Amino acid sequence: MADELDDVTDDETAESSEAVIAVHWREEETYPPPASFTAQANASDPAIREQFTEDKFPDSFTAYADLLTWFKPWDTVLDTSNAPFWRWFVGGELNASYNCVDRHLATHPNKAALIWVPEPENEAHQAITYRELYVRVNEFAAVLKELGLKAGDRITFHMPMVPELPVAMLAAARLGIIHSQVFAGFSGTAAGHRIADSGSTVLVTMDGYYRSGDLLDHKVKADEAVEAAAKEGQQVDKVLVFRRYPGKYSAATPMVEGRDVFVDDLLAAHKGEIVEPVALQATDPLFLMYTSGTTGRPKGCQHSIGGYLAYVAGTSKYYQDIHPDDTYWCMADIGWITGHSYIVYGPLALGTTSVLYEGTPNYPDAARPWRIAKQLGVNIFHTSPTAIRMLRKVGPDEPAKYDFHFKHMTTVGEPIEPEVWRWYYNSIGKREAAIVDTWWQTETGGFLGSTLPGIDAMKPGSCGPAALGILPTILDENGDEVAAGSGKAGNIVIRNPWPGVFQTIWGQPERFVSTYYAKYNKDPKSTDWHDWPYFAGDGAVQAADGYFRILGRVDDVINVAGHRLGTKELESAALTVNEIAEAAAVPVVDDVRGRVVEMYVSLKPGFDASPEVEAKVRTAIETDIGKIARPKNIWIVPDMPKTRSGKIMRRVIAATSNFTDTGDITTLANPEVVERIRHQVQSAKVARGEVPRELSETELHEIEHFGSE
Ligand code: WTA
């Protein structure tokens, strides 16, 4: 077995230095947008780019703001006086709920705003018209008001994919209450940390929801969340519980007297009540969206009302190509930024019909999405590479069997392999659809890199050029520009502010500056935006044609199925287990989920490795974060490879788990441990049949740089 392992390693050695990789990026062929798509596209004339050139910045973005209804126009488009805390459309007043609901009543009150598809196929879908949405948003706003919540307060939602979630978001937005929706798949403890960080006194949840055929008890997580928040000093006064079946409680967990209330009971007292939308400053916060970073504390990305809503409306129009008559389905979860921007705020601001699906895409079988698409006449479809890979794996021939036709499709959240892209294009898109590969982040509010679907050629594996008005470039570690077409990778930055960019990290303004702006800023006092490139934390390479290929994170973040997990969060969870002395989390390439997590732990003296310790680590991670973070393997190792200053070299263990070259280890304090770990881990993996295929350039790049920031 040892010989077999040595072969694997030797093969890789010659290929692995940055210099060699740099010249190896293979250029993919391009695909023109379908003529039928261009003929109807919102952006079909390349001259649109001229309206967004650098010399027209920042006024160019008023084209996006003009898509909204303002109670009071802005005085200043962009205020840079407190750089890099950019303020967009200063002096303007508006309301997001008004823009997504009320203003559509005049033109199409009876059109479906949302169509909700429950997971059980025998439950009928529910179409909620703009008129009904208006009623429901107002009634829930009345409930929030009765609880004493007002503009500037924070409220946490831990809600599944049900229409009550957008209703609750829009009700909060109506009053200026800052919402923070936590992905339902996160554990109660994870929700509790976010409740505490945001200072919420009210939690809104649901008794249960369907996932892969099971009606899950979700209410139990609310109890855990309240307890976790209390440990951090944050008291939750009220837990509002929506019922999956109104009038019938679907959870086994008891309601807590005085604290927990059924929302349907509360709503009964506010039937038909109207709550006027509050005129809010464009620069007031709309919501917080927590994401992982390089420390254990999640970052509450704070998004503004005016800039954010303008940006998601504009990009929904030009990049999602949403027209009022479209039926648009984004299969993401509203618990992530994609759902906020491109299920709720963008599509509803444009007055379209947005489909919401409760369950997993492959339940009860791999053709479920295609039956939904056919039944509802979906013509715009939006999903992630992980979902595409999974649907391709379990049902490659299913799309052809159903009579649905997409004019437009999106992929988002992770790099997509060209081969997977081609299946998306040929089999799901039936060669009729324009595809956009949209690169962006929780922090950025909306798309940063994408083709304009009616204009630009598509190139599998590349997100495309910069989005309108966005000025990206690639910088090396010294801040020098890496030329397009040079074949060299570097850090992608955005040179200018844009309306969708987050305003700050809630409660951590220094971290906001140090994480995103300090790296390439030379003058911290400057109020000139040119001095503050936004550091995205992604590696990228730009081809001669200007298209960007995103290579993945350059920090300690692992992208599992499009979900960002911080290594520190995973490691802190493992360290709560008494036996564990040290822990390190690394990504392993996975054919469906993109990356999965592997944990390396070492034990305190006096403890021995055992399946029980492994199980404890697994449970700790599920409890602290959620099942999405569950590690594929937990390796109990004698010691971690470390630098002389004691830093764990995650790059070296990531290489071990992925069977790639560990690179230079001569500078380690304990180079001998590398070989021991490699033997332990790789022989176990060989025995389990977990030897990975040869990695692509993109994957190799990420593994070799993992944690090197
Ligand atoms: C990655 C999701 C390649 C990237 C909207 C980024 C992508 C992180 C793409 C943000 C794409 C997102 N191609 N990589 N089209 N889109 N990423 O905050 O590493 O959940 O930094 O936002 O996902 O993930 P987040």
Q: Is the CB of 438 under 6 A from ligand 1?
A: yes
Rounded mean pLDDT, 683-698: 92
Rounded mean pLDDT, 364-388: 97
pLDDT reported for residue 296: 83
Distance from Cα 633 to the centre of ligand 1, integer Å: 25
Q: How confident is the model at residue 708 (pLDDT cuts 50, 70, 90)?
A: low
Please state which of the ranges 77-81, 442-446, 625-629 shows the lowest mean pLDDT. 625-629
pTM value is 0.94
Distance from Cα 223 to the centre of ligand 1, integer Å: 32
Average pLDDT, rounded, for the chain: 94
Distance from Cα 439 to the centre of ligand 1, integer Å: 6
pLDDT reported for residue 24: 56
Amino acid identity, residue 209?
A: Y
Measured by CA distance, the residue closest to atom 25 of ligand 1 is 441
pLDDT reported for residue 10: 32
Q: Is the CB of 412 under 6 A from ligand 1?
A: yes
Angle at 705 between CA 699 and CA 709, to 5 degrees: 140
- Mutate-to-test residue for ligand 1 from 182, 320, 411, 538, highest number of ligand atoms within 8 A of CB: 538
Query: What Cα–Cα distance (Å) separates residue 175 from each residue in 142, 170, 277, 403, 470?
Result: 10, 9, 6, 43, 32
Q: Distance between CA atoms of 399 and 369, rounded to whole angstroms?
A: 9
pLDDT reported for residue 554: 87
Measured by CA distance, the residue closest to atom 14 of ligand 1 is 414
Q: Does 12 have pLDDT greater than 70? A: no
Distance from Cα 316 to the centre of ligand 1, integer Å: 17
Higher pLDDT residue, 663 or 369? 369
Q: Is the CB of 549 under 6 A from ligand 1?
A: no
Q: Does 7 have pLDDT greater than 70? A: no
- Mutate-to-test residue for ligand 1 from 303, 564, 595, 697, highest number of ligand atoms within 8 A of CB: 564
Residues 529-567 pLDDT 10s: 999 999 999 999 999 999 999 998 888 899 999 899 999
Q: Does 26 have pLDDT greater than 90? A: no
Q: How confident is the model at residue 6 (pLDDT cuts 50, 70, 90)?
A: very low
Please state which of the ranges 21-25, 81-85, 503-507 shows the lowest mean pLDDT. 21-25
pLDDT reported for residue 707: 79
Query: What Cα–Cα distance (Å) separates residue 494 from each residue in 80, 322, 466, 490?
Result: 16, 26, 9, 13
Rounded mean pLDDT, 461-469: 97
pLDDT over 90 percentage in the chain: 90
Measured by CA distance, the residue closest to atom 24 of ligand 1 is 441
Measured by CA distance, the residue closest to atom 7 of ligand 1 is 414
Distance from Cα 587 to the centre of ligand 1, integer Å: 15
Rounded mean pLDDT, 137-141: 98
Q: Does 248 have pLDDT greater than 60? A: yes
Q: Is the CB of 550 under 6 A from ligand 1?
A: yes
Atom index in ligand 1 nearest the CA of residue 553 equals: 19
Q: Are 428 and 399 in contact (CB under 8 A)?
A: yes
Distance from Cα 426 to the centre of ligand 1, integer Å: 24
Residue 169 token pair: 């978001």
Q: Is the CB of 25 under 6 A from ligand 1?
A: no
Distance from Cα 650 to the centre of ligand 1, integer Å: 21
Distance from Cα 422 to the centre of ligand 1, integer Å: 20
Atom index in ligand 1 nearest the CA of residue 336 equals: 20
Q: How confident is the model at residue 1 (pLDDT cuts 50, 70, 90)?
A: very low
pLDDT reported for residue 709: 46
Q: Does 686 have pLDDT greater than 70? A: yes
Rounded mean pLDDT, 695-708: 86
Q: Distance between CA atoms of 470 and 475, rounded to whole angstroms?
A: 16
- How many alpha carbons lie under 13 Å from residue 356 in its C-beta half-sphere? 27
Q: Is the CB of 441 under 6 A from ligand 1?
A: yes
Residue with tokens 């305190």: 604
pLDDT reported for residue 295: 82
Q: Are 286 and 303 in contact (CB under 8 A)?
A: yes
Radius of gyration (C-alpha) of the chain in whole angstroms: 25
Atom index in ligand 1 nearest the CA of residue 437 equals: 15
Q: Does 2 have pLDDT greater than 70? A: no
Phi, psi angles (nearest 5°) of residue 324 = -55, -30
Measured by CA distance, the residue closest to atom 13 of ligand 1 is 415
Q: How confident is the model at residue 25 (pLDDT cuts 50, 70, 90)?
A: low
Which residue, 531, 505, 494, 529, is CA-closest to 81?
Answer: 529
Dihedral of CA 401/406/407/412: which sign?
negative
Distance from Cα 551 to the centre of ligand 1, integer Å: 10
Q: Does 484 have pLDDT greater than 60? A: yes
Q: Are 259 and 237 in contact (CB under 8 A)?
A: yes
Distance from Cα 552 to the centre of ligand 1, integer Å: 8
pLDDT reported for residue 11: 33
Amino acid identity, residue 133?
A: L
Residues 161-178 pLDDT 10s: 999 999 999 999 999 999
Residues 252-297 pLDDT 10s: 999 999 999 999 999 999 999 999 999 999 999 999 999 988 888 8
Q: How many residues are recorded in the chain?
A: 709
Q: Is the CB of 553 under 6 A from ligand 1?
A: yes
Rounded mean pLDDT, 52-58: 98
Query: What Cα–Cα distance (Å) separates residue 11 from each residue in 3, 8, 19, 110?
Result: 12, 6, 17, 64
Q: Is the CB of 552 under 6 A from ligand 1?
A: yes
Q: Distance between CA atoms of 676 and 439, rounded to whole angstroms?
A: 39
User: Is residue 543 left, alpha or beta, with left meaning phi > 0 and alpha meaning psi from -120 to 50?
Assistant: beta
Atom index in ligand 1 nearest the CA of residue 338 equals: 5
Distance from Cα 391 to the centre of ligand 1, integer Å: 20
